[in-house]
């Protein structure tokens, strides 16, 4: 493929992994434009290696907002964009509970704007693709059994998931109404390098290394279906190349874990790579001893689990990283890149964390 791909939100966790994956591991010969607003969650340095190798030739970073129609239109025209992959979003559920406005702005109005720009520039072209990255959270909360399929009715329960659900509906509407060639993927919880340390795994890792309490919401029995980020990137790549326009694909790790299990697995991985005897911050305690139960998240979804049968059958996708292997790779990465991590935790985030954790 020698097209030009516009990746939005490419300075965040999954977007930066996706751009690296596309340019280094797929044989893609075209250009990637990364449009990112650089909110608290985005860091241009997440793609420092890519800028050095491909910058100005096959990789272009543009700071900007997906809500800015003038900018998006110029980019689509100037670079002859024929694929849009939308990762840009406000993504943290806890933040959406404390302040939903940005979620509505970016996740709904921003996606609407991208769709309008795609429609205006692409007219009736069929050799183009608009891929929207979404989440399993749109389906709501499961009880003990069952899994989300592509036909599970939407039942979002947080401002974050409600905003993602709204965007999914808009994307599908543009297929049915205007014939825009769209695809959507609804993925489960990702983990891996470059994730912002507001999310469970890097947050717990950060706290554990510092010998601080690892906050576990409620009884720790909430269940998430974990997927290593590169497996998600490969799924998205397959969908934009081989997926059928108008279709939705669920993507999950078939790796359900209660949060407490996840934290204990993380502590084990950490012990292997940085044994407690070599970490003075632990003062002789085990990593697990740091687990601290805190007040639950309001409306905390109990269980997510994805049925990935469709993408496996239709596109031959399957996850390649087992949980323990992926977790060890993640821990090793964070320990090496701890300086990078410190930079990610900017002053406003520190203040936000302090406020919210003292309230719990």
Any idea which residues carry the catalytic annotation?
136-137, 160
Task: Give the residue at shortest CB distance from ligand NAD.
Answer: 12
Residue 42 binds which one of ligand NAD, ligand DAU, none, with CB within 5 to 8 A depending on kind? ligand NAD
Q: 273 — alpha (psi -120 to 50), left (phi > 0) or beta? A: alpha
Structure tokens at 240: 């934009």
Interface with ligand NAD (CB under 6 A), residue from 5, 6, 14, 315: 14
Nearer to ligand NAD, 4 or 86 (CB): 86
Question: How far, in Å, CA of 108 to CA of 103, rounded?
Answer: 7
CA distances, 19 to each of 166, 249, 268 (Å): 26, 20, 31
Residues 111-150 that bind ligand NAD (CB under 6 A): 133, 135
Helices (H) and strands (E) in the chain, counts: 14, 12
93 interface partner picked from ligand DAU, ligand NAD, none, CB below 5 to 8 A per type: ligand DAU
Q: Check if the beta carbon of residue 249 is closer than 8 Å to that of residue 310.
A: yes
- Interface with ligand NAD, residue 8, by CB under 6 A: yes
Q: Could you tell me the smallest distance in angstroms from the CB atom of residue 89 to ligand NAD? A: 3
Which lies closer to ligand NAD via its Cβ, residue 190 or residue 262? 190
Residue 102 CA to residue 39 CA, distance in Å, equals 11
Site for ligand NAD in 55-74 (CB under 6 A): 65-67
106 binds ligand NAD (CB under 6 A): yes
For 283: left if phi > 0, alpha if psi spans -120 to 50, otherwise beta; the answer is left
Minimum distance of ligand DAU from residue 2's CB (angstroms):
32
- Answer for which of 5, 22, 36, 142 binds ligand NAD (CB under 6 A) is 36
CB-based contacts of 84, cutoff 8 Å, min separation 6 = 5, 6, 8, 76, 114, 118, 129, 130, 131
* Chosen residue from 15, 192, 193, 197 binding ligand NAD by CB under 6 A: 15
* Other Cβ atoms within 10 Å of 175 Cβ, number: 18
Residue-level length of the chain: 360
How distant is the alpha carbon of residue 27 from its chain centre? 23
| CA 85 to each of CA 212, 271, 301: distance values in angstroms, whole numbers, following the listed order | 38, 38, 27
Does 7 engage in binding with ligand NAD (CB under 6 A)? no
259 binds, among ligand DAU, ligand NAD, none (CB under 5 to 8 A by kind): ligand DAU
Kindly tell me which of 33 and 88 has the beta carbon lying closer to ligand NAD.
88
Please identify, using beta-carbon distances, which residue of 23 and 93 lies nearer to ligand DAU.
93
Which residues make up the interface to ligand NAD (CB under 6 A)?
Answer: 8-9, 11-15, 36-39, 41-42, 65-67, 87-91, 106, 110, 133, 135, 164, 187, 189-190, 196
């Amino acid at each position: 493929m020698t097209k030009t791909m516009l990746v939005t939100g490419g300075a965040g966790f999954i977007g930066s992994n996706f751009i690296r994956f596309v340019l280094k591991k797929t044989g893609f010969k075209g250009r990637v434009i990364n449009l990112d607003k650089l909110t608290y969650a985005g860091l241009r340095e997440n793609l420092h290696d890519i800028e050095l190798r491909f910058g100005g030739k096959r990789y272009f970073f543009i700071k900007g907002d997906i809500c800015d129609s003038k900018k998006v239109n110029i980019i689509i025209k100037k670079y002859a964009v024929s694929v849009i992959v939308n990762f840009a979003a406000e993504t943290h559920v806890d933040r959406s509970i404390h302040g939903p406005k940005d979620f509505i702005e970016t996740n709904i109005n921003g996606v609407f704007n991208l769709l309008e720009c795609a429609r205006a520039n692409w007219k009736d072209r069929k050799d183009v693709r608009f891929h929207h990255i979404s989440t399993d959270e749109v389906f709501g909360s499961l009880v003990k059994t069952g899994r989300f399929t592509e036909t599970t009715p939407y039942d979002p329960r947080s401002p974050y998931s409600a905003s993602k659900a709204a965007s999914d509906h808009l994307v599908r509407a543009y297929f049915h109404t205007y014939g825009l060639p769209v695809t959507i993927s609804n993925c489960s919880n990702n983990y891996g390098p470059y994730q912002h340390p507001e999310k469970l795994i890097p947050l717990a890792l950060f706290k554990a290394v510092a010998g601080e309490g690892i906050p576990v919401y409620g009884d720790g029995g909430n269940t998430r279906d974990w997927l290593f980020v590169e497996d998600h990137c490969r799924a998205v790549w397959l969908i934009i190349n081989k997926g059928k326009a108008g279709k939705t694909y669920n993507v999950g790790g078939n790796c359900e874990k209660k949060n407490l299990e996840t934290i204990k697995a993380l502590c084990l991985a950490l012990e292997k790579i940085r044994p407690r005897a070599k970490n003075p911050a632990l003062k002789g305690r085990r990593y697990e001893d740091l687990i601290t139960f805190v007040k639950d998240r309001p409306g905390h979804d109990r269980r997510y689990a994805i049925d990935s049968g469709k993408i496996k059958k239709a596109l031959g996708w399957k996850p390649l990283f087992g949980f323990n292997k992926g977790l060890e790779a993640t821990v090793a990465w964070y320990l090496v890149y701890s300086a990078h991590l410190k930079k990610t935790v900017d002053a406003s985030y520190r203040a936000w964390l302090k406020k919210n954790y003292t309230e719990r």
